[in-house]
């Protein structure tokens, strides 16, 4: 089933912050102070800004690899010299602690600096945290997978294996629509600081996973260092929307996935990566709904990114809300279309003079009725293309603005 933000009231919101210093929040309200806000939130699990809460912890549990014959009953075993764990009888049982030790050398903590705009578009710098997976290396570089939203807007990036020592990383390329990015760290620096402590992860065939398979999620939860949580696969081929209204196919799991876990590994009981943790559904009354991008999707895109190098991605640079007939009436808006709730400073939209409160009704003469149609229109274009954007502003008649699409590249 495809969940639609407009129909179900889901809202993509920034994840829980980790820095202790508070910062002004970018304005996202509709004019007149009325905001379109939803009860349920799909959190992209990168941690940024200030404050924090809740962190997933796992105890040692004995679990069996997919395909292993096990008894239906779980028994609790206690030992004074070992942690309490849940045991599954059957061949090939493994402790979560053993799985963690296998995978931890392939998972890094990521720290970024991001310049954002607050009230009245003033600029300030904030910190963010996420996770990454080492997936390959050559003579000069160690390549690390992460989510695009982890490093989106970053001005600098560092990675750490021991959560103590950090190495600077550089942007290689990414696919925003798939929420996948690749960064690299100098191999000489990785060897110098983490010699013998890192290796490339092993990726499993995600097409073979099944509902009920045991999994472990590993990442830099809340930016407090690597930790592990335990669960099962709840659903496969689950479609969710990203922050930019892109539909991506994911694996659903009940393993706790918290802010900062984005880009981290979801692994099977052999310690092989079956997905990259990316989001969670969060609301009162909702528990255990985390999402990971399947390893088959990730591996294919990551390899193409490394082969192609830095990519060119056209972008408009706005946050929008679809204006239906109902919302037009509720907020006394002049027309249906796509309401601009925020314009990113320095973006294509800002350079063209688009403003918060404008309603986009068409691009190049083609009617734009939803945020999804707007995003699709931009994605089909190329960097440097000039789009004729029809808008209504301040209740006046429609006017046309020419927008030259810039490249949404990262320079760290």
Known catalytic residues?
Answer: 149, 179, 262
Q: Mind giving me the DSSP string for 154-173?
A: EEEEEEESSSSS-EE-EEEE
Q: Is 306 exposed, middle or buried (0-12, 13-18, 19+ CB in 10 A)?
A: middle
CA dihedral 18, 274, 166, 173 (to 10 degrees): -90
3-state secondary structure at position 206: helix
As a whole number of Å, the CA-based R_g of the chain is: 22
Distance of alpha carbon 247 from its chain centroid, rounded? 13
Is 19 strand, coil or helix?
Answer: strand
Instruction: Kindly give, in sequence order, each residue whose CB lies less than 8 Å from that of residue 33, ignoring residues fewer than 6 positions away.
Output: none
The H or E element spanning position 342 is strand 337-343
Cβ neighbours of residue 332 closer than 8 Å, sequence gap 6 or more: none
Q: Which residues pair with 124 in a beta bridge?
A: 116
Contact 401, 348 (CB under 8 A): no
**Pick from 412, 348, 351, 354: nearest CA to 385:** 348
Q: In the numeric block, which tokens belong to residue 149?
A: 């939203």
């Amino acid at each position: 089933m495809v969940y639609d933000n407009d129909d179900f009231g889901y809202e993509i919101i920034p994840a829980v912050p980790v820095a202790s210093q508070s910062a002004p929040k970018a304005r996202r309200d509709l004019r007149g102070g009325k905001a379109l806000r939803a009860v349920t939130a799909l959190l992209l699990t990168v941690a940024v800004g200030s404050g924090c809460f809740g962190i997933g912890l796992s105890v040692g549990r004995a679990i069996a690899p997919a395909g292993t014959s096990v008894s239906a009953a779980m028994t609790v075993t206690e030992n004074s010299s070992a942690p309490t764990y849940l045991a599954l009888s059957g061949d090939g049982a493994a402790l979560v602690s053993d799985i963690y030790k296998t995978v931890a050398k392939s998972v890094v903590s990521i720290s970024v600096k991001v310049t954002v705009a607050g009230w009245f578009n003033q600029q300030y710098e904030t910190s963010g945290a996420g996770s990454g997976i080492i997936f390959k290396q050559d003579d000069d570089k160690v390549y690390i997978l992460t989510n695009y939203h982890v490093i989106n807007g970053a001005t600098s990036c560092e990675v750490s294996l021991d959560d103590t020592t950090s190495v600077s990383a550089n942007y290689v390329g990414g696919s925003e629509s798939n929420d996948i990015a690749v960064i690299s760290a100098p191999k000489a620096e990785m060897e110098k600081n983490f010699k013998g402590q890192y290796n490339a992860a092993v990726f499993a065939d995600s097409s073979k996973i099944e509902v009920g398979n045991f999994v472990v999620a590993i990442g830099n939860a809340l930016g407090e260092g690597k930790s592990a949580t335990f669960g099962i696969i709840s659903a496969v081929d689950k479609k969710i929307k990203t922050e930019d209204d892109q539909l991506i196919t994911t694996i659903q799991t009940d393993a706790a996935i918290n802010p900062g876990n984005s880009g981290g590994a979801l692994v099977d009981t052999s310690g092989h990566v079956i997905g990259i943790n990316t989001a969670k559904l969060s609301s009162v009354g909702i528990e255990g709904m985390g999402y990971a991008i399947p390893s088959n999707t990730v591996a294919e895109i990551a390899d193409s990114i490394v082969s192609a190098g830095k990519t060119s991605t056209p972008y408009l640079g706005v946050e929008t809300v679809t204006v239906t007939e109902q919302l037009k009436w509720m907020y006394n808006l002049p027309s249906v279309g796509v309401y601009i709730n925020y314009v990113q400073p320095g973006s294509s939209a800002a350079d063209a003079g688009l403003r918060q409160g404008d309603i986009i009704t068409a691009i190049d003469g083609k009617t734009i009725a939803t945020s999804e149609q707007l995003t699709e229109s931009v994605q089909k274009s190329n960097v440097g293309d000039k789009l004729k954007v029809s808008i209504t502003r301040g209740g006046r008649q429609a006017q046309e603005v020419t927008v030259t699409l810039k490249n949404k590249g990262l320079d760290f």
